[in-house]
Amino acid sequence: MTTKPAKVIAIYPGSFDPITNGHLDLIERGSRLFDRLIVSILRNESKQPLFSVEERMEMLWDVVRDFPNVEVDCFDGLLVHYAAAKQATVVLRGIRAISDYENEWQMALMNRRLQPDIETVFLIAGEAHSFISSRLVKEVIGLGGSIAGLVPQSVEIRLRNRLQRAASNNI
């Protein structure tokens, strides 16, 4: 039987391309549950992100600076190896809908098999955020729709600037 560590460190991994208010809700709630929360961007260039890892880290730092126990980082490779290196005992994941659960459940079981001392904790998305995804936000703003209230204002500004630059380069 293992004992609870003196301080519980959790990793909240994701692509955060870009961070949404749904992500921010989980960060706020996770910061209350854990002694230290590391919001960490998975380096996965196969997804062709809109923003570089460095830009995503800047956006995250901008919106989490008021949480003293939250830090921002990035990693590549297996999440459980990264978590173990950070002495984390928890992986925090969000569930927006039942459709998220199956994939998250499979990943949690594989992570447990690879690193039994690391637990996965699921938080259900708040009702106001249950439909928000980074992909949907990028699609809506790309088609000229409003994303007010879906992302932090600083992120909305960056998205608009990025899309305007892309549009002017395609002219």
DSSP 156: H
- Asked if residue 22 lies in contact with residue 125, where contact means CB atoms within 8 angstroms, the answer is yes
What are the residues facing 71 on neighbouring strands? 38
Token readout for 113 is 């098999």
Residue 69 makes CB contacts below 8 A (sequence gap 6+) with 31, 34, 35, 36, 37
- Asked if residue 9 lies in contact with residue 89, where contact means CB atoms within 8 angstroms, the answer is yes
How many C-beta neighbours within 10 Å does residue 32 have? Answer: 9
81 is catalytic: no
The one catalytic residue among 96, 112, 130, 133: 96
Distance from CA of residue 47 to its chain's centroid?
15
86 is catalytic: no
The one catalytic residue among 56, 134, 138, 158: 134
Per this entry, what is the length of the chain? 171
129 is catalytic: no
Active site residues: 23, 47, 96, 134
